[in-house]
A and B are shown apart, each in its own frame.
Chain A
Amino acid sequence: MADLSKMKISEARDAMRAGDVSSVDLTEACLGAIEGAGVLNAFVHNTPEIAMDQAKAADARIKAGDAPAMCGIPLGIKDLFCTKGVASQAASNILGGFKPEYESTVTTQLFDAGAVMLGKLNMDEFAMGSSNETSCYGDVINPWRRGNDEAKLTPGGSSGGSAAAVAADLCLGATGTDTGGSIRQPAAFAGITGIKPTYGRCSRWGIVAFASSLDQAGPMTKDVRDAAIMLEAMCGHDAKDSTSVDLAVPDFEAMLTGDVRGKTIGIPREYRMDGMPDEIEALWAEGRKMLEDAGAKIVDISLPHTKYALPAYYVIAPAEASSNLARYDGVRYGHRASLAQGDGITEMYEKTRAEGFGPEVQRRVMVGTYVLSAGFYDAYYNRARKVRTLIKKDFEDVFAQGVDAILTPATPSSAFELGMEMDDPVQMYLNDVFTVTVNLAGLPGIAVPAGMDKQGLPLGLQLIGRPWEEGDLLNTAYALEQAAGFVAKPAKWW
């Protein structure tokens, strides 16, 4: 039954409820697929015993009737989520050996709904990266290749392990997190669907913090319907996260009608970048036409401060990171450097952090320290926060004009070769050019696979929605998915 891991969440749910397949069958199929896919380096801590126990419990619950939609669904969990008693180290050596005594709220909700954890997924260290090359576990390999070319491609980042695992059918869905594009960019690079909900939809409690005002969790799945099902299980108010919103979570799946007649879709002119590949431009135009053919009204809009989003992000995110990552001091958890005779507490901090953090994390912590330091706080940090206000206002203005959703490319390229962009941090940062505005404005955004480039690699489109209207956004994405008809899968070579 090797094909069971290829099922979608909706198919598996229906098959389990009908008694055609069990969670134990599904889980065994996924564990087998994971075992055969070591070369992708997507799963980094496997938890087969936990998975089988959860699968058996899920089967009993389904048999008893009235089980939630996620019951018995085998998932991969990004290493950024704290999972009780299971290694959770944010792909960093500084958290080597850390086994949380508690469970994150999002994973608690998923497991309470009966979902099965297959293991922890690779990612960029502390979610800082766009190619999954900053991980202490090594690179993740994208299951997609350029035809017969054996060059290893990035699955994107930071949720690169999640994207690769879902694309390669090692699990039915995976959790991701998105601070500047870390769900949507890898989803686009791997030909899968990924949604970042509105800031405050998912509790951040128990998720290792990177930039707290930007971080949001979300699902990475094989289609839009699965994203709707899994997102619903992840959302909800949590008293343990003061920024989590106390709003009812709608039945997102029930909102997938595919009807977008009368909706207004904005096309922002500032997202037409110099040097953007023709194929991305063409895909964007096709997406516009697909939504128009489906009955939506297309309008050209302007988001004038778009150009300043990345520079603002690269002040705010490192500033928050330098503060959040101050907790890694070698005292309470994780790595502590061995000390020389006469070393005091300052040497312990400095050596521990130099050994434990990789180069990109060190760079961002220090940039953040600099922009927050006396004399530069106003010039950099406060200015960036003011620009952030303007970026959010750009979106508020177009929503006030009646725009329901905004269509953009998801990424400025298809998946690139591993090792190609590692030398130039700023070049790497440009990967997030279309996604980072959404985090700065706290909006929901979804990446949907919509086509292929000449090399045979998937390309994604992004839809940006109004705050708290994930249901409407998912429905527009569903209409786009139906029109695009993207069904390609990577040819199995691993």
Chain B
Amino acid sequence: MSIDTETAARVAKLARIKVEEDALPALAQEFNTILGFIEQLQEVDVDGVEPMVSVTPMRLKRRQDGVTDGDQQDAVLSNAPDAREGFFAVPKVVE
């Protein structure tokens, strides 16, 4: 299994991280090193083994379906890079 620059570019796109064209070969190389390390997992016999969902078997607690928090618009927006009129502001999303 080997990752080419095209795959590296696709993964960067999926991860929403801008990677310059000239940095792609080095990135692909790094992926290959790490995936080569991970590849050892293929040796393990996992037939009939359940994938772990929760490390500690526990039943999730239930609670009343009621409002427990809210009415904190200023606190919610206080760290936003761009907040206007009570909203998060972002570049145009819909054409």
User: B-contacting residues of A (Cβ < 8 Å)?
Assistant: 97-101, 198-200, 213, 239, 242-243, 245-246, 305, 307-308, 310-312, 314-315, 322, 326, 329-336, 339, 343-351, 353-354, 357, 362-363, 365-367, 369-371, 373, 379-380, 382-390, 392, 424-426, 429, 440-442, 467
User: A355: shortest Cβ distance to chain B, in Å?
Assistant: 8
Q: Which secondary structure dominates where chain B touches chain A?
A: loop
Chain A residues with CB under 8 Å of B30's CB are: 363, 425
Q: Would you call B67 an interface residue if the criterion is a C-beta within 8 Å of the partner chain's C-beta atoms?
A: no
Chain B residues with CB under 8 Å of A370's CB are: 3, 11, 31, 35
Contact indicator A442/B11 (Cβ below 8 Å): no
Q: What size tier do the contact residues of chain B reach?
A: 35 or more
User: A161: shortest Cβ distance to chain B, in Å?
Assistant: 23
User: A237: shortest Cβ distance to chain B, in Å?
Assistant: 9
Contact indicator A383/B42 (Cβ below 8 Å): yes
Residue of B nearest to A379 (CB): B42
CA distance A440 to B43 in the complex (A): 19
Chain A residues with CB under 8 Å of B60's CB are: 242
| Residue from A329, A347, A385, A425 in contact with B52 in the complex, judged by beta carbons closer than 8 Å | A385
11 sample A-B contacts, Cβ–Cβ < 8 Å, listed by A number:
A243-B58, A245-B56, A307-B40, A310-B37, A331-B81, A336-B81, A345-B90, A347-B91, A366-B11, A426-B33, A442-B56
Contact indicator per residue, chain B 74-92, by CB within 8 Å of chain A (1) or not (0): 0110111110000010111
Chain B residues with CB under 8 Å of A441's CB are: 55
Chain A residues with CB under 8 Å of B82's CB are: 336
User: B26: shortest Cβ distance to chain A, in Å?
Assistant: 10
Chain A residues with CB under 8 Å of B80's CB are: 331-333
Given contacts A386-B50, A442-B55, contact A308 B91 (CB under 8 A): no
Residue of B nearest to A322 (CB): B15
Contact indicator A199/B55 (Cβ below 8 Å): yes
Contact indicator A311/B38 (Cβ below 8 Å): yes
Residue of B nearest to A365 (CB): B15
Chain B residues with CB under 8 Å of A331's CB are: 80-81, 88, 90
CA distance A404 to B33 in the complex (A): 38
Contact indicator per residue, chain B 10-50, by CB within 8 Å of chain A (1) or not (0): 01111111110000000100110111011111111010011
Residue of A nearest to B82 (CB): A336
Contact indicator A346/B56 (Cβ below 8 Å): no
Contact indicator B58/A245 (Cβ below 8 Å): yes
User: A248: shortest Cβ distance to chain B, in Å?
Assistant: 16
Chain B residues with CB under 8 Å of A442's CB are: 55-56
CA distance A97 to B81 in the complex (A): 10
CA distance A386 to B50 in the complex (A): 6
| Residue from B18, B44, B51 in contact with A382 in the complex, judged by beta carbons closer than 8 Å | B51
Given contacts A336-B81, A385-B51, A387-B41, contact A467 B91 (CB under 8 A): no
Residue of B nearest to A328 (CB): B16
CA distance A383 to B93 in the complex (A): 38
Chain B residues with CB under 8 Å of A242's CB are: 60-61
Given contacts A308-B41, A366-B31, A383-B41, contact A373 B14 (CB under 8 A): yes
